[in-house]
Structure 1
């Protein structure tokens, strides 16, 4: 049996780890995936992790695999090297865990963060965005939400999916936009609040007609209020809908009852909310059915005018 002092596995180079194994050694396969981790400055990592701050934090974890850092060290690094508030460090680690196995283990009385390898169940983000497309999306050098720029406001821009890939969004350029890290984090947190409806949203996005997408979304919320910007995102899943509110009103042709309210207590902006209180089955060919209903209503109005 190989003794701990002779073993060259990564696990035997981490203080306090080898004592937990029966053989005095953890096999390397228990700590890292067979696929090599990307180098901190590699194009592979840049294509996978858009945030510069996250890549720098990954670099620290990568270099310190034989001497894993504590959270205190990670926060100090975030403050000194990244210029970030230390409260952001936990979130950065969580975001890295979407792709990598970053374990918190108690070693010699301290919790240390070990970059073990690739996550066993990585985020379902599909293929990485090519560097050329990433450059194309970031070319405006302005956040699509708040308008801040790296030059004037010293923000870092990342490539954002308008419709998350976990909801069926693609890497097509029409589904990508530049966002600053703060707006990107806020948008991600907002979308995460709908995780309970993720499967229904994914199904709604798959439909071809915008009216059917909107209807499926409202139906999934079962009479709960739905924010207008989420409806707009789902309505524009296949093609941009400049007037998605009209597509929403189209549902009333088929007996849907939809309520609307504005909320003024959500920051500086007025938020529009909608909910469906009556839901009916939609016809197979929605555009044809709408035209037929519009023609019927025109005839009814004409007949009413003649009677008067």
Structure 2
């Protein structure tokens, strides 16, 4: 059975490699190649690259990556998942569900070539983002609760988020880690999420995100961020409900987290093709028709 699983993984890896936009003649750099130091400046992240390089035919889970770092460094760094995602600035490292778990596949070079360093946020911008001195998610402050605030990308960089001020917010380290853990579990849908963010109309952004999850539950916070990706949507929940006017079946579910906070999740169990022309105008037309019937 193990050999059969290995064969499936190797076949999957070869198939994925053939789909890349990068030329097949451009091999991945060996972990000892000096070019890697110019692309990946963090030593721990380079260790992760070497592990993924070695495990290309048998991609590891995040648990295995952390265990590898613990053996190498004595302990696994707190931001291991962040370092794995940082590799995507230069390489294609999708998280794929294989053999009962999400595994990180070092597939090849990033389509379009390595990005320039996008992690650099100026000191002035960082100070502006952190100036409220309050976590945007839990509301705790450094003065009253002793938390450490960090600059968070509301739309993650790997989903197309930028360093623009409107995409940055202050989060405490605990909330930031929790958000990264949650969002990284959706890495398999990253390409669909990036596509949803590009649409001009908020209804379409919301709808395409729900479609990307194919009937699975989507956290309301993520839906709100994507809805406001181009222009802030104060009432994105209403935009979501309005999709029902177009024949969509939208369900909601309330969940309580470990801190006792209530969060709303959404899913689309049925959707219709987008109408031609302006979506908002078509929704208003159908609403008027329903009232006059």
Please give the range of the TM-score, normalised by the shorter of the 2 chains. 0.5 to 0.7
Q: Which residue of structure 2 aligns with residue 30 of structure 1?
A: 33
| Alignment equivalent of 1:289, drawn from 269, 282, 290 | 282
In 2, Cα distance between the equivalents of 1:153 and 1:243?
31
How many residues align structurally? 216
1:91 counterpart SS class: coil
1:142 counterpart SS class: coil
In 2, Cα distance between the equivalents of 1:37 and 1:210?
36
In 2, Cα distance between the equivalents of 1:153 and 1:250?
40
Q: Which residue of structure 2 aligns with residue 112 of structure 1?
A: none
Deviations 1:1-51 (A, max 9, x none): xxxxxxxxxxxxxxxxxxxxxxxxxxx97356574997xxxxxxxxxxxxx
Q: Report deviation, 1:179.
A: 1.2
8 Å contact kept, 1:257–1:278: yes
| Alignment equivalent of 2:195, drawn from 195, 203, 214 | 203
8 Å contact kept, 1:134–1:159: yes
In 1, Cα distance between the equivalents of 2:197 and 2:40?
34
Q: Which residue of structure 2 aligns with residue 178 of structure 1?
A: 170
8 Å contact kept, 2:215–2:267: yes
2:207 counterpart SS class: helix
Q: Which residue of structure 1 aligns with residue 152 of structure 2?
A: 160
In 2, Cα distance between the equivalents of 1:90 and 1:34?
20
Q: Which residue of structure 2 aligns with residue 239 of structure 1?
A: 231
In 1, Cα distance between the equivalents of 2:176 and 2:256?
23
Give structure 2 stretches of 5+ with no counterpart. 1-30, 46-68, 91-108
Give structure 1 stretches of 5+ with no counterpart. 1-27, 39-53, 59-69, 76-86, 102-119, 301-308
Deviations 1:49-99 (A, max 9, x none): xxxxx99x99xxxxxxxxxxx968956xxxxxxxxxxx6x43345645636
Deviations 1:239-286 (A, max 9, x none): 222211110111112111112222347651223222212210112311
1:177 counterpart SS class: strand
1:91 aligns with 2:83: no
Q: Which has the larger radius of gyration?
A: 1
1:197 counterpart SS class: helix
In 2, Cα distance between the equivalents of 1:169 and 1:36?
20
8 Å contact kept, 2:196–2:209: yes
In 1, Cα distance between the equivalents of 2:237 and 2:175?
25
8 Å contact kept, 1:168–1:206: no
Change (3 A) 1:210 1:178: same
Q: Which residue of structure 2 aligns with residue 116 of structure 1?
A: none
TM-score, normalising length from structure 1?
Answer: 0.60
In 2, Cα distance between the equivalents of 1:280 and 1:145?
34
8 Å contact kept, 1:161–1:177: yes
Q: Report deviation, 1:203.
A: 0.9
Q: Which residue of structure 1 aligns with residue 179 of structure 2?
A: 187
Change (3 A) 1:290 1:157: same
In 2, Cα distance between the equivalents of 1:205 and 1:185?
23
